[in-house]
Amino acid sequence: MEIIGVLVAGLIIGLLGKFVAPGARDNTPLWLTVLCGIAGVLIGWYLAELLGVEATDGIDWVRWIISIIVAAVLVVAASTITGRNNRAVR
């Protein structure tokens, strides 16, 4: 897959991650969430290559699953590190 396709996929995954997390739970800035999505897809894509996932003519489902998982971990890490995650303390 070309780098432009990976960047667009990362942008989409980052935006989806932002919309899935309700605003009251996740105050991470949009730009950081999108950046984590892009980084997650790039890292996941290369991680799949290191794990020996073969490229196919169709959709590489294993590569995409790895990329989405890595992107999700990065979004959660960014929310935790920035300390902008508002949890109700009782």
Identify the residue with better confidence: 86 or 45.
Answer: 45
Cβ atoms 40, 68 nearer than 8 A: yes
Give me the sign of the Cα torsion angle 8, 10, 11, 12.
positive
Counted domains in the chain: 1
Domain-located, residue 26: yes
Mind listing the pLDDT tens digit for each residue in 13-63? 777 767 765 555 567 787 888 888 889 888 988 898 898 887 777 777 888
Cβ neighbours around 45 below 10 Å, total: 22
Domain-located, residue 88: no
**Does pTM surpass 0.85?**
no
Contacts of 47 (CB under 8 A, 6+ apart): 66, 70
Domain-located, residue 89: no
pLDDT reported for residue 25: 57
Domain-located, residue 64: yes
Domain-located, residue 90: no
Give the domain extent around 52: 3-82
